[in-house]
């Protein structure tokens, strides 16, 4: 049994808030206990972060910070297997996935933002005039201060370091509130912080739930200078309200109901491979995942068959076995939610092309398993087609014209991501310019260059992170004007 402690001012401390079990989603077994931070402990974490800004961290040169960021990446890689095991125990995701995505990207984020800050400049405007009436303006970049980092459970280490790395690169200090479902890797990172010599108070972790608990204590804390959040849109709204007190900046990476658009000239095999991943990777628990697919009528039946076959090809089981290609969902509660949509689809008359229920899992009876599922035949107004389910499921709808496909794709309050599948380049450009999302992939999905702007439009978020966009959020510009 692991006991997950808070990490405050460089030391591990037992939480004084409520205690709850940490479950292994594969079996449902309780494998650890989380003792949440109470309000005073969240205060202490924010206080330590403030103090660290005034200490050696605040006076450190950029090259020294860069060196420490690189050591953090190396430190995670040096304990790769421990991080991998911790992530698998928290999420039940297959080793094949976590070892290729979660942990390597979790480490790489520190390198990426070390590179970014190394070449980061600011603007200057020189207007000298012969009579000396001109001016030189230049901007100085400094940290924002204490950043609250509130994270979800689907890609715990990866999404947390996606925020912590640029925040530290810009010289901020952070208080992280990991998801209550996945406390392990954020805690382990505290050990690495100490090992590589990050000063105490720069990185703090407070555990607990959101409303009325550590999450809310942190985001409503008056001494927090900025909040970065990834999670559900509804939670984003609550956090934005909390941030309004004191007019603190927020970066919100929220939910989606992402459309895929498949034209009849698409390369069929490559499309099935890509869109299959977009629907089912990480058991569908990816914000960028595709839960509604619009298929040009001429190839609809073929795509439907292909995707159903793909859904049936996944193998459930022990996440530590290489043969396992799909894990459970994160929790009993989330399984209930996903299965409630499976029921709704059936009662609303969907044609179930694959899956549609929970698999029989001998030896893993208590686990949070759901089948990868493909439907068609529902109206666009069905909650199955409009709500983010966040499970391994997708709904297929035929279309005839490009205009119709764009209109269907845009008919959503969300605007996170889309993927367009076509061999007609002109059409790809046209449609990419029309779909109202933050991220468009053409003939691929989740192909990431970490320097690019990442974020959603409409209810899928505010702001962009990635590359220089992260630097903009995690730093404050001050302009200096000198009369010449």
Mind telling me the catalytic residues?
253, 287
Distances (CA, A) of 62 to 71, 143, 151, 170, 197: 14, 12, 27, 8, 15
* Greatest CA separation for the chain: 87
Residue with tokens 């008919």: 411
Tell me the closest approach of the beta carbon of residue 87 to ligand NAD, in angstroms.
15
153 or 263: CB nearest ligand NAD: 153
How many of the other CB atoms lie within 10 Å of CB of 27? 18
Residue with Cβ nearer ligand NAD (141 or 221)? 221
Tell me the Cα Rg of the chain.
23
Minimum distance, C-beta of residue 296 to ligand NAD, in the bound complex (Å): 27
Find the residue with minimal CB distance to ligand NAD: 210
Q: How far is the CB of 427 from ligand NAD (least distance, A)?
A: 27
Looking at the Cβ atoms of 142 and 383, the one nearer to ligand NAD is 383
Could you tell me the two tokens for 437? 């999302």
Q: Tell the smallest beta-carbon distance from residue 309 to ligand NAD (Å).
A: 27
Structure tokens at 144: 């924002």
CB of 23 to ligand NAD, least distance (A): 15
**Beta partners for residue 398, in sequence order:** 295
Cβ nearer to ligand NAD, comparing 50 with 221? 221
- Closest distance to ligand NAD from the beta carbon of 388 (Å): 6
Binding residues for ligand NAD (CB under 6 A):
150-154, 159, 177, 179-180, 209-211, 215-216, 219, 230-232, 235, 238-239, 253-256, 287, 388, 390, 416, 456, 461
Q: Which is nearer to ligand NAD, 153 or 300 (CB)?
A: 153
Nearest-approach distance from CB 181 to ligand NAD, in angstroms = 7
**Tokens matching residue 2:** 């692991």
Measured from the CB atom, the residue of 154 and 296 that comes closer to ligand NAD is: 154
Residue closer to ligand NAD by CB (options 255, 276) is 255
């Amino acid at each position: 049994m692991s006991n997950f402690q808070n990490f405050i001012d460089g030391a591990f401390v037992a939480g004084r808030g409520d205690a709850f079990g940490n479950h292994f989603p594969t079996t449902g077994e309780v494998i650890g206990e989380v003792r949440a931070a109470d309000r005073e402990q969240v205060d202490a974490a924010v206080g330590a972060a403030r103090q660290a800004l005034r200490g050696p961290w605040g006076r450190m040169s950029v090259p020294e910070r860069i060196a420490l960021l690189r050591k953090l990446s190396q430190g995670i890689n040096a304990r790769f297997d421990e991080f991998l095991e911790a992530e698998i125990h928290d999420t039940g995701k297959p080793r094949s996935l976590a070892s290729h995505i979660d942990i390597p990207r979790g480490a790489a984020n520190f390198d990426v933002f070390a590179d970014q800050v190394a070449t980061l400049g600011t603007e200057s405007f020189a207007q000298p005039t012969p009579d000396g009436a001109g001016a030189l303006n230049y901007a100085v970049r400094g940290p924002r201060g204490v950043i609250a980092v509130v994270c979800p459970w689907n890609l715990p280490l990866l999404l947390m370091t996606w925020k912590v790395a640029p925040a530290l690169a810009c010289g901020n200090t952070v208080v992280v509130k990991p998801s209550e479902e996945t406390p392990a890797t954020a805690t382990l990172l505290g050990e690495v912080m100490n090992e590589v010599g990050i000063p105490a108070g720069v990185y703090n972790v407070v555990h607990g739930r959101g409303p009325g608990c550590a999450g809310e204590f942190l985001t409503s804390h008056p001494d927090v200078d900025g909040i970065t959040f990834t999670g559900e849109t509804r939670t984003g709204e609550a956090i934005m309200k909390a941030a309004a007190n004191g007019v603190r900046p927020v970066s919100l990476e929220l939910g989606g109901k992402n459309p895929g658009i498949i034209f009849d000239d698409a390369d069929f095999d490559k499309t099935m491979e890509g869109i299959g991943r977009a629907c089912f990777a990480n058991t569908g628990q990816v914000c960028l995942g595709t839960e509604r697919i619009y298929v040009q009528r001429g190839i609809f039946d073929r795509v439907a068959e292909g995707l159903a076959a793909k859904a049936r090809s996944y193998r459930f089981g022990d996440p530590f076995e290489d043969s396992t290609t799909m894990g459970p969902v994160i929790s009993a509660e989330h399984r209930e939610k996903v299965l409630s949509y499976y029921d709704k689809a059936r009662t609303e008359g969907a044609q179930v092309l694959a899956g549609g229920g929970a698999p029989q899992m001998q030896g893993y009876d208590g686990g949070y398993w759901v089948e990868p599922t493909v439907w068609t035949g529902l109206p666009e107004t069905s909650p199955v087609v409009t709500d983010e389910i966040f499970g391994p499921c997708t709904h297929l709808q035929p279309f005839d014209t490009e205009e119709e496909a764009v209109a269907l794709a845009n008919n959503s309050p969300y605007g996170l991501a889309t993927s367009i599948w076509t061999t007609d380049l002109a059409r790809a450009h046209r449609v990419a310019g029309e779909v109202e999302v933050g991220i468009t992939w053409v003939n691929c999905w989740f192909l990431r260059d970490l320097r690019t702007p990442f974020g959603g439009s409409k209810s899928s978020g505010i702001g962009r992170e990635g590359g220089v966009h992260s630097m903009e959020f995690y730093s404050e510009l001050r302009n200096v004007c000198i009369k010449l």
